[in-house]
């Protein structure tokens, strides 16, 4: 058997390996769990997350599907309603639009429309984001779109630890849960604390405490924000970095507490600015913490263009650490 390497729950591993170990643990723990999606079996996954799992668990648990997102997401919904615990992989989040009717009109609404008679304990994983020169059709950040839909939970693991343990909590949830894994993070490495065996899927987390400005972010913008905070610290500005982690439901309490303390806020969101999750957070802060702000809210988002293919243009279109530094510095120093 080609069992994946790495020690479950501890040690240093990549984000990709953390995702794989999470799936493997789920398959071992519950015979009702199976993985389905395009190229997840024989090919080992478009991003090699499921490599080796077909050999270990067989085609009954690792199911390659046709190129038909509406069909296999619908099958996943049916399986979940029938008592299974499917993990559906959509190769990249732009393909989720082909299954939007199933996700929005079935998975998210059936528990409500059935008066609670049916639950849909479905987990959908998908790759998101730009930065790998996959051009306009494969570099979307659509997690903010799905965070608009009642009935869904939307998770965006930005660390190896969250990638390792969020899936377990998602599978235990009776509601449909969407997990967005950023394509740039798959090669990122992290050290897992052996004492950590679970994470919650309800709260944001302060990744770096600070007193001068709050940087609210998620996904691949988290390492960029931490890099920015390190640069700012060299200038005497202590930025607090809050990893949102959960975009629906948003953890208002952690967001409000951080901004109330620092009194300044930069939101870093790889989605487009118009109608984005950053816009929702800014609106909530304006509604509930307006008089505690000492400066306007700043937002660092992707340029409002289809993501370019050329590397230098793609970099210019996506949020960068230098932009976060400039925004935070301007808020603290009043310019």
* Cα–Cα distance measured from residue 292 to residue 176, given in angstroms and rounded to the nearest whole number: 36
**Opening angle at CA 169, ends 60 and 162, nearest 5:** 100
Q: What is the pTM of this model?
A: 0.95
| Residues 247/144, Cβ–Cβ less than 8 Å | yes
- In the chain, domain spans: 11-192, 205-333
Question: Which residues are catalytically annotated?
Answer: 69, 138
What tens-digit pLDDT sequence spans the chain (335 residues)? 333 444 445 689 999 999 999 999 999 999 999 999 999 999 999 999 999 999 999 999 999 999 999 999 999 999 999 999 999 999 999 999 999 999 999 999 999 999 999 999 999 999 999 999 999 999 999 999 999 999 999 999 999 999 999 999 999 999 999 999 999 999 999 999 999 999 999 999 999 999 999 999 999 999 999 999 999 999 999 999 999 999 999 999 999 999 999 999 999 999 999 999 999 999 999 999 999 999 999 999 999 999 999 999 999 999 999 999 999 999 999 86
Q: Is the peptide bond before 249 cis (omega within 30 degrees of 0)?
A: yes
Task: Please tell me what DSSP assigns to residue 57.
Answer: H
Contacts for 166 with CB less than 8 Å, ≥ 6 apart? 22, 155, 157, 179, 199, 201
- Hey, what CATH class is 11-192 in? alpha beta
* Cα–Cα distance measured from residue 221 to residue 129, given in angstroms and rounded to the nearest whole number: 10
Q: Which pLDDT does position 157 carry in this prediction?
A: 98
Q: What is the CATH number of domain 205-333?
A: 3.40.50.920
Q: Where are the alpha helices (DSSP H) in the chain?
A: 15-29, 53-57, 69-81, 100, 110-113, 143-146, 160-172, 221-233, 252-262, 277-288, 311-317, 321-333
Greatest Cα pair distance in the chain:
61
Residue carrying the six token digits 């939007």:
100
Q: Which pLDDT does position 335 carry in this prediction?
A: 66
Q: In Å, what is the CA distance from 126 to each residue of 207, 209, 251, 286? A: 24, 30, 22, 32
Equal CATH topology for 11-192 and 205-333: yes
Q: Which pLDDT does position 126 carry in this prediction?
A: 98
Residue carrying the six token digits 């993070």:
185
Q: Determine which helix (DSSP H) or strand (DSSP E) holds 178, and give its type and residue range.
A: strand 177-182
Contacts for 244 with CB less than 8 Å, ≥ 6 apart? 156, 204, 216, 217, 218, 250, 251, 255, 277
Q: Parallel, antiparallel, or unpaired: how do β-strands 213-217 and 265-272 relate? A: parallel
φ and ψ of 309, to 5 deg: -85, -45
């Amino acid at each position: 058997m080609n069992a994946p390497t790495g020690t479950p729950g501890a040690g240093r591993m990549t984000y990709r390996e953390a995702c794989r170990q999470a799936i493997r643990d789920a398959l071992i723990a519950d015979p009702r769990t199976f993985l389905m999606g395009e190229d997840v079996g024989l090919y080992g996954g478009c991003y090699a997350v499921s490599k080796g799992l077909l050999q270990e668990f067989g085609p009954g648990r690792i199911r390659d599907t046709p190129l038909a997102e509406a069909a296999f997401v619908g099958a996943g919904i049916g399986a979940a309603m029938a008592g299974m615990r499917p993990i559906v992989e959509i190769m990249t989040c732009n393909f989720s639009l082909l299954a939007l009717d199933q996700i929005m009109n079935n998975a998210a609404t059936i528990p409500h429309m059935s008066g609670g008679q049916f639950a849909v304990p479905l987990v959908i994983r998908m790759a998101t984001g730009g930065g790998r020169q996959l051009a306009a059709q494969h570099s979307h950040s659509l997690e903010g779109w799905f965070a608009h839909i009642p009935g869904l939970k939307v998770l965006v693991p930005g660390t190896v630890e969250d990638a390792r343990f969020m899936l377990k909590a998602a599978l235990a949830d009776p509601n449909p849960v969407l997990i967005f894994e950023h394509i740039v993070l798959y090669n990122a490495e992290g050290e897992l604390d052996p004492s950590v065996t679970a994470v919650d899927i309800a709260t944001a987390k302060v990744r770096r405490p600070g007193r001068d400005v709050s940087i609210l972010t998620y996904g691949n913008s988290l390492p960029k924000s931490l890099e920015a905070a390190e640069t700012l610290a060299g200038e005497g500005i202590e930025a607090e970095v809050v990893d949102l982690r959960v975009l629906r439901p948003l953890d208002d309490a952690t967001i409000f507490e951080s901004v109330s303390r620092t009194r300044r806020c930069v939101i870093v969101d790889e989605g487009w600015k118009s109608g984005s999750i950053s816009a929702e957070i800014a609106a909530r802060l304006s509604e509930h913490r307006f008089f505690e702000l000492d400066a306007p809210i700043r937002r660092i988002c992707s340029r409002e263009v289809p993501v370019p293919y050329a590397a230098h243009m793609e970099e210019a279109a996506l949020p960068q650490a230098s932009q976060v530094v400039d925004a935070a510095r301007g808020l603290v120093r009043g310019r």
